[in-house]
Each structure stands twice: as structure tokens, then as C-alpha cells.
């Protein structure tokens, strides 16, 4: 399991943009988790996706974010 998780939805254009930003920032490997089919995740992240979460310390980076913000987030 990766240290980073991107919470997203199916057919989400903002999520597609977030994936492009993560690639631009050369983010380390991350897991993608779709919130659509999980009531608890839907309640927590539904209106906020995409959200990048560091599972080591629980920090979260809400959209919108750019490559510089992602790089700073990954550095801690």
C-alpha cells in the first residue's frame, strides 16, 4: 500500500485534472480510492473530491491544488 491516497469519483473531470497535476509534480506512487460505492467515504469526501491524503499522518490536500502544492505536501 502506498503512503498517498487520491480519493476520487468515477467520471469526475476534476479528478482527471488532479491526476494530471500529480503527474506534473512527479508525485510518488499513490493508491486511487473511489468514494462512489462506500457510504462512509461518500459522507466524508463526497463534495470534496479529489482529495490527496497522506496515510502516515492523516494530512489531506483538498482540490484545487497545483504541482507546487503537491510537491510541498509530499515533502511534509
pLDDT value of residue 1: 82
Let me know if 44 is exposed, middle or buried by CB neighbors in 10 A (0-12, 13-18, 19+): middle
Q: How far, in Å, CA of 43 to CA of 49, rounded?
A: 11
Output the domain CATH number for residue 38. Answer: 3.40.30.10
DSSP string, 6-73: EEE-TT-HHHHHHHHHHHHTTPPPEEEEE-TT-HHHHHHHTTT-SEEEETTT--EEESS--HHHHHHH
Range of the domain at 35: 4-75
pLDDT, tens only, 10-55: 999 999 999 999 999 999 999 999 999 899 999 999 999 999 999 9
Single pTM value for the model: 0.96
pLDDT, tens only, 50-74: 999 999 999 999 999 999 999 999 9
Amino acid at each position: 500500500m502506498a503512503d498517498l491516497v487520491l480519493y476520487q469519483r468515477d467520471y469526475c473531470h476534476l479528478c482527471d485534472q488532479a491526476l494530471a497535476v500529480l503527474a506534473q509534480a512527479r508525485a510518488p506512487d499513490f493508491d486511487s480510492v473511489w468514494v462512489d460505492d462506500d457510504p462512509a467515504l461518500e459522507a466524508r469526501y463526497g463534495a470534496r473530491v479529489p482529495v490527496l491524503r497522506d496515510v502516515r499522518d492523516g494530512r489531506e490536500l483538498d482540490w484545487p491544488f497545483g504541482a507546487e502544492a503537491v510537491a510541498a505536501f509530499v515533502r511534509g
